[in-house]
Structure 1
Amino acid sequence: MATTGLKQLSNALATLDQISNSSSSIDGVPSDLEMSIRCAGAQLTQAAGVLLGLSQDIIAQAIVIFTRFWLGADGGSLRIYSAKDVSAASLYLTAKLSFLPTSPRSVLNVYTLLLSQDASPLWFVNPRGAPVQPPAPETYVLSEGGYQAARLTLLRIESIILRALGFDTHVALPHAIALTYLQTLGATKPGVARRVVEHLNAALLSPQLLYVTHQPNALAVAAIYLAAREEGVKLVDANWWEVFDVDREELGFLVVAMRSLEGFVRKETEQWKGKKIPLVVDDLESEIERRRMMDEGE
């Protein structure tokens, strides 16, 4: 029983080979472009989950499943599967497995809005920014025929994700663990708990893929360490992180990675300013061709 309980608090982590040799990279997708699309896909999943009224734990699990799908040579390739479709299917699948399932129509209606170049509030979809005046309904409302086609795609991608993951949809999150650790450490200041949760949610966008390379207890410890420093809260003098089975080297790496996220997102925003990040296969192919032509001076 104890072994089963511990297993529920941990995840199967990605190997170095899976991280460095994704199916997308094998298919010739530049690493920086792949990183941008993964980050945008995670943000898309987050926004869709919020609009669907899903809890943050469901949304976070969906983002982790979305991230896992692209890992390794056996994972999905961005030149075959559109990131927007994998995002929608990941969210639909995770919600279906939870206490708060949502219908295909609800999911697809939300994604149609978020992916509309006229109505979307997302900067990487609609570079012009959220519209001041309400856009025409036909720019963000699915027709019945469009819904039926999109529903078939949603269910097909869901089955592809399940096969790619070996039907292992278990995702242990660090949020509850972190709050338990805070109580153990006697850090009861509300601001610390708030910052811990903010760091853990932001880490879902990490270019280092922290949620698939580190166990939840390590993520929780790093978020606590960082939040306590930011809020000026002194924790115990001893190397308290070792009590939670985290060594100094891992803690240092995670703290640096979490602190770098703000700069990474800012850099992404500047790099793609005025352009949309390609979340559809055809758009990805156009971006790869554009880069090829620039490299060749055409």
Structure 2
Amino acid sequence: MALKHLSNALATPDQLSNSSSSLDGVPSDLETSIRCAGAQLTQAAGVLLHLSQDVIAQAIVIFTRFWLGADGGSLRIYSVKDVSAAALYLTAKLSFQPTSPRSVLNVYTFLLSKDASPLWFVRQGGSPSTPPEPETYILSEGGYQAARQVLLQIETVILRTLGFDTHVALPHTIALTYLQTLGSSNPAVAQRVLQHLNAALLSPQLLYVTHQPNALAVAAIYLASREEGAKLVDSDWWEVFDVDREELGFLVVGMKSMEGFMRAELNTWNEKSIPMVPDQVDAEIERRRMMEDGE
């Protein structure tokens, strides 16, 4: 039973290669960009709601799982912003840090405001240089009631889609325990480990749903110790933690690639917003079709 709480149900190869969005004609690069933006939106909302990083990370994993496989949600049916909000609300409710629907929806209204949002993929240039008008990011009472209904509906959809399995084991605490076991007391290494684990939540390879927490922890330690020049034991220490060299190599490459991936995303979307709702997804697909056809 204890081991179960340290592991996760992983995505199958079929789920990874046949998402509901891809079956609905969403190009894989567009799906990756939207999913990554949704994870960043969840992270930002969690910070503004003063939730712990553990709760935020669990919400991002649940958000990511929702889109997996032919039975998952499609970006042409469900708004990534609504699924992000519902995943965060649900995860907080199941934790020791529950937050109200009103608080969640107020934060999302602010983060998705074209005039006020500090997020680069919502508002080009990030935070505005002058304070925006409050009405551009404050939810009216009528707007709140409608949004609350959507929030609770999507929460139910997420639960049904995941078969009510909301268990998420995270690698963060495991990694710090492993560092102690390895005799490392370097705070810079520990900080880099946590940075890599948080960045991996946005991975285009979906590392959190394809690898167990112990493997993610080992890869982050290996990479962070190399970057900080910290020497660990001479032997193949990762094998002690049940990780083989091939898996370690894949995860290290995946984590190292995050900086380049995010830079490429910024370059790709530097002049337009990433679609957050199905109508915008449809419009982007149509825009690409017209460009291919030379219209």
State TM-score, norm by structure 1.
0.99
Correspondence for 1:100: 97
Q: Which residue of 1 aligns with 2:239?
A: 242
Question: Where does residue 211 of structure 1 map in the other structure?
Answer: 208
Counterparts of 2:294 and 2:129, CA distance in 1 = 39
Residue 50 of structure 1 corresponds to 47
Q: Does 1:257 align with 2:254?
A: yes
CA contact (8 A) 1:128 1:274 kept: no
AA matched with 2:117: S
Q: Would you say 1:191 and 2:188 are equivalent positions?
A: yes
**Does 1:36 find its partner at 2:33?**
yes
Per-residue CA distance 1:239-266 (angstroms, 9 max, x = gap): 0000000000000000000000000000
> Structure 2: how far apart are the matches of 1:74 and 1:7?
24
Aligned to 1:119: 116
Deviation string, structure 1 residues 73-111 (Cα, Å, up to 9, x no partner): 000000000000000000000000000100000000000
Aligned twin of 1:272: 269
Aligned to 1:297: 294
State the distance in 2 between where 1:21 and 1:6 align. 30
Letter in 2 for 1:236: V
- Alpha-carbon contact 1:113-1:141 (below 8 Å) kept: yes
The answer for the alignment partner of 1:146 in structure 2 is 143
Aligned match of 2:230 in 233, 248, 252? 233
CA distance in 1, matches of 2:9, 2:115: 40
Q: In 1, distance between residues paired with 2:37 and 2:126?
A: 15
- Separation in structure 2 between the aligned mates of residue 245 and residue 128 of structure 1, nearest angstrom: 44
Whether 1:87 aligns to 2:84 is yes
Residue 203 of structure 2 aligns with an amino acid whose one-letter code is S
- CA distance, structure 2, for counterparts of residue 219 and residue 187 of structure 1: 18
What is the CA-CA distance between 1:132 and the residue it aligns to?
A: 1.1
CA distance in 2, matches of 1:128, 1:115: 14
Q: Kindly state the Cα deviation for residue 202 of structure 1 after the two structures are TM-superposed.
A: 0.3
Contact 1:177 1:220 in 2 (8 A): yes
Query: Identity of counterpart residues, as a percentage?
Result: 80
Equivalent-residue separation in structure 2 for 1:173 and 1:113 (angstroms)? 29
Instruction: Please name the residue that 1:170 is paired with.
Output: 167
Which amino acid letter does the alignment assign opposite residue 138 of structure 1?
Answer: E
Equivalent residues in 2 for 1:4-83 (5 A)? 4-83=1-80
Give the drift of 1:129: 2.5
Structure 1 residue 177, shift from structure 2 partner:
0.3
1:130 deviation in Å?
1.1
Q: CA shift at 1:128, angstroms?
A: 3.6
The aligned amino acid for 2:211 is: H
Superimposed CA distance per residue, residues 187-220 of structure 1 (whole angstroms, 9 cap, x where no aligned partner) = 1110000000000000000000000000000000
Structure 1: how far apart are the matches of 2:136 and 2:125? 15
TM-score of the superposed pair, with normalisation by structure 2: 1.00
Question: What does the per-residue CA deviation read over 1:8-64, in whole Å, with 9 as the maximum and x for residues that have no partner?
Answer: 000000001100100000000000000000000000000000000000000000000
Detail structure 1 runs of 4+ shifted over 2 Å in the superposition. Answer: none
1:134 maps onto 2:131 in alignment: yes
Aligned length: 295
Question: Aligned AA for 2:286?
Answer: E
Unaligned runs of 5+ in 2: none
SS at match of 1:5: coil
Matches of 2:63 and 2:157 in 1, distance apart? 12
| 2:74 aligned partner, one-letter code | S
Q: Which residue of 2 aligns with 1:159?
A: 156
